[in-house]
């Protein structure tokens, strides 16, 4: 596992991104289509994948879904589309982050460094097992069990749940979660909302009336004890 995979159909953008990220010290591969990119990721799993949304053939959303199914890579959508619907749809498809073109290389590099820091910590967040109601979080093993059954979470979802679990019963603001889970100084709070939504689909009985991961209006989220 390693390196950054850039899935971008625009030849010039792809070439320039590959060059710029190589300069930043990453091992970078480029793919012009989703099919090519998915194959490249299966051959050698990337640490982070940058995906454009408008791709020929399999589109960006589907590409994100398949990448998510294939593995644990951090998926960052880099798109010219800045519509809220697109952003939410991409995040719901499984993307970890969404950046709107043009992205400054410094910014992109900062995000990738955050990804690396998180991943260097290994798949686990460390710490003792947390039991909150019928939810059991084992940071050392990277496992979450609900009613004793294993729940499959992405890395971001897992880290988010760990963070909330370590402060169970306490409200964490979106900004706090962005800093602690994504390690971003500054970012789009919709990231948190969508990830909380995805997490709820996996740990709540009724996502419309969450009982475990609750919203505290105007403040943020908390994991109810």
Residues in contact with another protein by CB under 8 A are 10, 12-13, 16-17, 19-20, 23, 78, 80-82, 84, 100-106, 173, 175, 185-186, 189, 217-219
CB of 55 to another protein, least distance (A): 13
Looking at the Cβ atoms of 17 and 151, the one nearer to another protein is: 17
CB of 21 to another protein, least distance (A): 8
In whole angstroms, what is the distance from residue 222 CA to residue 214 CA? 6
CB of 118 to another protein, least distance (A): 20
Looking at the Cβ atoms of 104 and 150, the one nearer to another protein is: 104
The DSSP secondary-structure symbol of 47 reads S
Which of 85, 84, 90 is CA-nearest to residue 7? 90
Phi, psi dihedrals of residue 164, rounded to the nearest 5° = -65, -35
Query: In the chain, what's the furthest Cα-to-Cα distance?
Result: 52
In whole angstroms, what is the distance from residue 195 CA to residue 90 CA? 11
Name the one residue in this structure whose structure tokens are 């909150």: 132
74, 115 in Cβ contact below 8 A? yes
CB of 191 to another protein, least distance (A): 13
CB of 157 to another protein, least distance (A): 22
18, 31 in Cβ contact below 8 A? no
Looking at the Cβ atoms of 92 and 143, the one nearer to another protein is: 92
E-strand stretches of 54-178: 74-79, 97-100, 130-132, 135-138, 143-146, 149-150
Looking at the Cβ atoms of 12 and 120, the one nearer to another protein is: 12
Looking at the Cβ atoms of 186 and 206, the one nearer to another protein is: 186
């Amino acid at each position: 596992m390693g390196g950054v995979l850039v899935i971008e159909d625009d030849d010039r953008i792809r070439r320039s991104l590959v060059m710029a990220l190589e300069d930043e010290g990453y091992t970078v591969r480029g793919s012009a289509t989703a099919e090519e990119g998915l194959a490249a990721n299966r051959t050698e799993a990337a640490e982070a994948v940058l995906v454009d949304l408008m791709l020929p053939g399999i589109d960006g959303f589907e590409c994100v879904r398949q990448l998510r199914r294939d593995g644990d890579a951090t998926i960052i959508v880099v798109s010219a589309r800045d519509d809220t619907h697109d952003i939410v749809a991409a995040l719901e498809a499984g993307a970890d982050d969404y950046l709107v073109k043009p992205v400054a290389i410094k910014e992109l590099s900062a995000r990738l460094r955050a990804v690396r820091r998180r991943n260097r910590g290994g798949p686990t967040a460390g710490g003792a097992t947390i039991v909150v109601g019928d939810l059991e979080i084992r940071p050392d093993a990277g496992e979450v069990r609900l009613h004793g059954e294993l729940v499959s979470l992405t890395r971001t979802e897992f880290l988010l749940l760990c963070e909330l679990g370590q402060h169970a019963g306490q409200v964490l603001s979106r900004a706090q979660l962005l800093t602690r889970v994504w390690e971003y100084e500054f970012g789009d709070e919709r990231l948190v909302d969508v990830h909380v939504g995805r997490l709820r689909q996996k740990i709540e009985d009724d996502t419309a009336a969450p009982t475990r991961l609750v919203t505290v209006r105007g403040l943020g989220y908390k994991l109810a004890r």
